Amino acid sequence: MSVNPMAYEAQFFGFTPQTCMLRVYIAFQDYLFEMMLVVESVILKKLEGFPDCKISPFQIRKSTEKFLLFMKEHFDKLFSKMEEVLLQLVLNIPKNVLLPEDKVHEQYPYSKEQFQALQDEIHQLQKQYRAEASAGQALRAELEEQKAVRAELEKILQWFDGLENICREHGTCNFKESFAFLTQNAKKLQDVLKDVEKKSKKIKKHDQLL
């Protein structure tokens, strides 16, 4: 069997020429074995008509095997020549023939150096794409943070607007005065809360005594 992989022929035929030749060889060999068995059975039947014949079935089997070996040796030699002819003249695609699906290589030929340069450029573009994708992700995260900060700032502005309205209602427009006003009211609320807590404790003690 040929050791040439014949990959281009396999692309065209859908199978390797060596595989085709191997199947043909096995088919011929199986046919030869079957024919020898048929010949052997015919000889044995013929001998049944000659009771005085001293040839035993064992001798016939030995002769059949010897003849089979002789035929196989000659068949292998003939098949080797036939395989060489078929692989060179029938199952071979000439070097100057280009398959239809490979016409693009003829229209846009590339040397190994050009192909390698193209591969390098592709790798570089992939790196740039990954870097830009990472930067875009970081920008999106930053935008989300800015949205959250903006929402908090809007809450603060609304709080200041409410504060300003309260100050106007109480006749204070200055920020310091407004802050002092809020501080004073906060202290009053704390005093009221403490007073409520004291009264609550007294009521609890009174209830316990009862």
pTM of the complete model: 0.46
Q: Shortest CA distance to 58 belongs to which of 132, 50, 66, 163? A: 66
Q: Which helix (H) or strand (E) holds 164?
A: helix 112-169
Q: What is the DSSP string of 20-58?
A: HHHHHHHHHHHHHHHHHHHHHHHHHHHHTT-TT----HH
Q: State pLDDT tens for residues 124-141.
A: 999 999 998 888 888 888
* Structure tokens given for 84: 């060489």
The answer to whether the beta carbons of residues 1 and 21 sit under 8 Å apart is: yes
Hey, which of 34-38, 48-52, 95-99, 115-119 has the most confident mean pLDDT?
34-38
Q: How confident is the model at residue 24 (pLDDT cuts 50, 70, 90)?
A: very high
Q: How confident is the model at residue 123 (pLDDT cuts 50, 70, 90)?
A: very high
Q: Answer yes or no: is pLDDT of 178 > 70.
A: no
Q: 138: buried, middle or exposed (CB in 10 Å: 19+, 13-18, 0-12)?
A: exposed
Q: How confident is the model at residue 168 (pLDDT cuts 50, 70, 90)?
A: low
Q: How confident is the model at residue 122 (pLDDT cuts 50, 70, 90)?
A: very high
Q: Shortest CA distance to 59 belongs to which of 35, 73, 38, 40? A: 40
pLDDT in the model for residue 187: 67
Q: Give the Cα separation of 178 and 166 in Å (integer).
A: 9
Q: How confident is the model at residue 145 (pLDDT cuts 50, 70, 90)?
A: confident
Q: Shortest CA distance to 25 belongs to which of 69, 67, 64, 72? A: 72
pLDDT in the model for residue 43: 86
pLDDT in the model for residue 169: 67
The answer to whether the beta carbons of residues 64 and 40 sit under 8 Å apart is: yes
In the DSSP assignment, the letter for residue 209 is: H
Instruction: Assign 3-class secondary structure to 95-133.
Output: CCCCCHHHHHHHHCCCCHHHHHHHHHHHHHHHHHHHHHH
What percentage of the chain reaches a pLDDT higher than 70? 68
Between 54 and 168, the more confident residue is 54
Q: State pLDDT tens for residues 52-110.
A: 777 888 888 898 899 989 999 999 999 999 988 888 888 888 887 777 777 766 666 76
How many other CB atoms are there within 10 angstroms of residue 18's CB atom? 19
pLDDT in the model for residue 15: 85
What is the mean pLDDT of the segment spanning 29-43? Answer: 90
Q: Give the Cα separation of 176 and 168 in Å (integer).
A: 13
